[in-house]
């Protein structure tokens, strides 16, 4: 399928192959919900029995039908990390933020590390940003040059911009409240509509006095 996408000329077909590849990755790594059936006849289910009219039939209804494979998903993400870290080291990139399959950089990435129409598996330049604010993993704001501000807040339903990007700097003590744990920190963020959302994230940030911290501020001018 990778080769088919590489050879495809039609943009719609390329997008289809891309979505199929991404769907396979998501399916292999899917965590299935555990459902508990609450019923007076629960013992019949646990005994793998099925009653039909006056006949009791034994069927296997508790078999594992989860078609996932964490090993495949882990191999994909591990390969991505190895590729990204090698690129960072080889080109001496100044990394501001890193996620599963993307980077925010302070210095430009060389063209040789960017994907082209004839090859895949490299980086693609998404935007050049005038400003960016990183609060925690998957919790950041950035302002592409000549484009609207982009909010990436995992866990918060965003229907529209929730505060001005500069409020993070001028009002961070009012907007953010961070409590440090041993291996993690919890933080809450108060929005313009006075709603407060609380989160927990791994502790990867430098400690400063009073157990408070401010977002990383990166400005490109």
Q: Give the per-residue pLDDT at 116.
A: 77
The angle, 0 to 180 degrees and rounded to 10, between the axes of the packed helices 70-90 and 11-28 is 120
Measure the CA–CA gap between 132 and 147, rounded to whole angstroms.
13
- pLDDT at 33 exceeding the cut of 70: no
Query: Model's pTM, two decimal places?
Result: 0.61
Q: Give the per-residue pLDDT at 86.
A: 92
Q: Give the per-residue pLDDT at 72.
A: 87
Q: Give the per-residue pLDDT at 90.
A: 92
């Amino acid at each position: 399928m990778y080769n088919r996408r590489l050879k495809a000329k039609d943009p719609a077909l390329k997008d289809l192959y891309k979505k199929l590849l991404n769907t396979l990755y998501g399916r292999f790594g899917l965590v299935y919900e555990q459902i508990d059936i609450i019923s007076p006849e629960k013992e019949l289910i646990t005994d793998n029995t099925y009653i039909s009219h006056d006949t009791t039939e034994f069927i296997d209804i508790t078999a594992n039908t989860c078609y996932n494979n964490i090993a495949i998903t882990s191999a994909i993400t591990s390969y991505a990390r190895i590729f990204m870290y090698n690129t960072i080291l080889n080109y001496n990139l100044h990394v501001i933020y890193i996620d599963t399959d993307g980077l925010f950089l302070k210095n430009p990435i060389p063209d040789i590390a960017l994907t082209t129409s004839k090859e895949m598996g490299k980086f693609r330049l998404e935007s050049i940003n005038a400003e960016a604010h990183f609060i925690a993993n998957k919790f950041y704001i950035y302002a592409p040059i000549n484009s609207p501000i982009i909010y990436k807040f995992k866990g918060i339903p965003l229907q529209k911009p929730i505060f001005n990007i500069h409020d993070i700097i001028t009002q961070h003590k009012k907007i953010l409240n961070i409590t440090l744990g041993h291996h993690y920190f919890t933080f809450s963020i108060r929005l313009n509509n006075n709603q407060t959302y609380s989160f927990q994230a791994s502790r990867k940030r430098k400690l400063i006095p009073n157990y408070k911290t401010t977002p990383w501020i990166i400005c490109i001018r």
